């Protein structure tokens, strides 16, 4: 390797640091790294912080097949152990650019990269986080040493600016994913799909599975015959709380806890509606994917989601925590009709135009070229 953060062939070395728990931020990083490895300008290394929920093997296989190097750092306490591991990796790999994705990875990642003397530091804010005062102080100090803050939606950018935790250079790059994979095989009309409702999201404090379960109880009371499919991993404690609610409401045979699903596109193409019930959201990647699969996307009316869905045009929004309002929307969507199909079609076209990997990767690469 030549000095200055570049290989002998001129490819710029770049490190992405993100949680290894399989969140939306993880998926964005994997897509970016695969694109950079294939593009010939950057040489990516992906660092995952180990979590109790391991990195899905399908993700690791995708990186290996794409020729992307990846490693893990331990999730230690006190956190200086994690920071010291990051510093050692940065000194060994000598990247020109270090990109820290998500909270709290952007704290420990930037500290390690700064200690190692990495020339360019990038902070990617993936969510609308509720920073406590002492954490805001930490982030503000790091912002002064950060060259670029990227926000995954306009709502996240507004939040970052309001808290004063971004660098002097704040940019917005809307999230993207492999939209073509979700749209492959052509559009399946809603009338040819079953009555199942799906929510593809990890179990976490941020997500509001409980409101969706209560809405399912209301639907079942009115004769709905489908199944609620809850796909995704996450914290065992939050899943157990949801399971208890399902049992208490007598929905044991009507709710399927699917866990990690390897073929989400096939699942989405079999359902009429995909729900993201949440208390706050940076973007809502699962919504854009549902739209691409020609599902009707339904979500809590929170700031980040409004960058994805235009209410009653490309999907539907409901008040946070309002199970009755959600049940009313689901009843309308499951009944079908030309107006509902038109909204699904609008959503699909919007997703294919606005939320592709290619658009997202191109915008990130343009920013990284500016820094390099």
Q: How high does pLDDT run on average in the chain?
A: 94
Count Cα neighbours of 248 within 13 Å in the Cβ-side half-sphere.
Answer: 9
Tokens of 14: 């770049």
| 199 vs 273: CA distance, rounded Å | 9
Rounded mean pLDDT, 17-36: 91
DSSP state of 367: H
Where does residue 250 rank: exposed (0-12), middle (13-18), buried (19+ CB within 10 A)?
exposed
- What is the mean predicted confidence (pLDDT) over 164-175? 96
Domain boundaries, the chain: 12-176+356-371, 179-354
Helix extents (H) in 24-129: 24-39, 57-65, 80-93, 105-116
Of 48-57, 251-260, 285-294, 339-348, the poorest mean pLDDT is in 48-57
The answer to pTM > 0.75 is yes
Is residue 96 a contact partner of residue 72, using CB atoms and an 8 Å limit? no
| CA distance readout (Å), 162 to 7, 20, 116, 158, 166 | 39, 29, 30, 6, 9
Burial state string for 103-132 with b = 16 or more CB within 10 A and e = fewer than 16 = bbbbbbbbbbbbebebebbbbbbbbbbebe
pLDDT digits (tens, 9 = 90+) for 199-244: 999 999 999 999 999 999 999 999 999 999 999 988 999 999 999 9
Span 334-341, mean pLDDT?
Answer: 97
**Does residue 364 surpass a pLDDT of 80?**
yes
Q: Is 320 exposed, middle or buried (0-12, 13-18, 19+ CB in 10 A)?
A: middle
| Residues 151-162 pLDDT 10s | 999 999 999 999
- What pLDDT, in 10s, does the model give residues 127-139? 998 899 999 999 9
The 10s digit of each residue's pLDDT in 37-93 is: 999 999 999 999 988 778 888 899 999 999 999 999 998 887 889 999 999 999 999
The tokens for 309 are 């869905």
Question: CATH topology of 12-176+356-371 equal to that of 179-354?
Answer: yes
- Could you tell me the pLDDT band of residue 341, with boundaries at 50, 70 and 90? very high
Phi-psi region at 321: left, alpha or beta (left = phi > 0; alpha = psi -120 to 50):
left
pLDDT at position 1: 38
DSSP helix/strand/coil, 233: coil
Average pLDDT over residues 322-331: 98
Sheet with 120-125: strands ordered across: 69-73, 42-49, 12-19, 97-101, 120-125, 148-151, 170-172
Q: List, for residues 252-265, the tens digit of each pLDDT value.
A: 999 999 998 989 99
Going by pLDDT thresholds of 50, 70 and 90, the confidence category of residue 2 is: very low
Q: Return the CATH number of 179-354, one of 3.90.1150.10, 2.60.120.260, 1.10.10.10, 3.40.50.2000.
A: 3.40.50.2000
- The arrangement of secondary structure in 12-176+356-371, i.e. its CATH architecture, is 3-Layer(aba) Sandwich (3.40)
């Amino acid at each position: 390797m030549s000095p200055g953060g570049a290989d002998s062939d001129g490819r710029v070395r770049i490190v992405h640091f993100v949680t290894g728990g399989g969140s939306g931020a993880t998926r964005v990083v994997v897509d970016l790294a695969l694109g950079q490895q294939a593009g010939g300008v950057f040489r990516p290394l992906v660092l995952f912080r180990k979590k109790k929920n391991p990195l899905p093997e399908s993700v690791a296989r995708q990186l290996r097949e794409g020729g992307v190097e990846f490693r893990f750092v331990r999730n230690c306490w006190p956190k200086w152990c994690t920071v010291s591991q990051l510093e050692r990796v940065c000194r060994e790999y000598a990247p020109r650019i270090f990109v820290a994705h998500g909270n709290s990875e952007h704290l420990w990642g930037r500290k390690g990269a700064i200690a190692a003397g990495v020339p360019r530091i990038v902070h990617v804010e993936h969510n609308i986080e509720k920073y406590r005062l002492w954490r805001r102080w930490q982030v503000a100090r790091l912002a002064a040493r950060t060259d670029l803050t990227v926000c995954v939606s306009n709502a996240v950018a507004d939040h970052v600016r309001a808290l004063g935790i971004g660098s002097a250079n704040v940019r917005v790059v809307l999230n993207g994913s492999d939209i073509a994979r979700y749209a492959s095989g052509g559009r399946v009309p809603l009338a040819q799909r079953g009555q199942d409702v799906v929510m593809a999201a990890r179990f976490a404090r941020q997500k509001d599975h409980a409101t969706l379960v209560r809405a399912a109880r209301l639907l079942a009371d009115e004769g709905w015959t489908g199944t609620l499919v809850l796909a995704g991993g996450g914290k065992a404690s939050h899943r157990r709380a949801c399971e208890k609610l399902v049992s208490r409401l007598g929905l044991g045979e009507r709710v399927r806890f699917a866990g990690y699903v390897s073929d989400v596109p096939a699942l989405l193409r079999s359902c009429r509606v995909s729900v993201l019930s949440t208390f706050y959201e940076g973007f809502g990647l699962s919504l854009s994917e549902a739209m691409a699969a020609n599902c009707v996307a339904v979500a809590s009316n929170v700031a980040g989601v409004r960058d994805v869905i235009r209410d009653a045009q490309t999907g539907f929004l409901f008040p946070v925590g309002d199970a009755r309002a959600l049940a009313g929307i689901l009843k309308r969507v499951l009944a079908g009709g030309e107006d509902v199909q038109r909204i699904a079609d609008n959503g699909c076209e919007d997703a294919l135009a606005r939320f592709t990997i290619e658009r997202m990767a191109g915008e990130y690469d343009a920013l990284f070229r500016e820094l390099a």
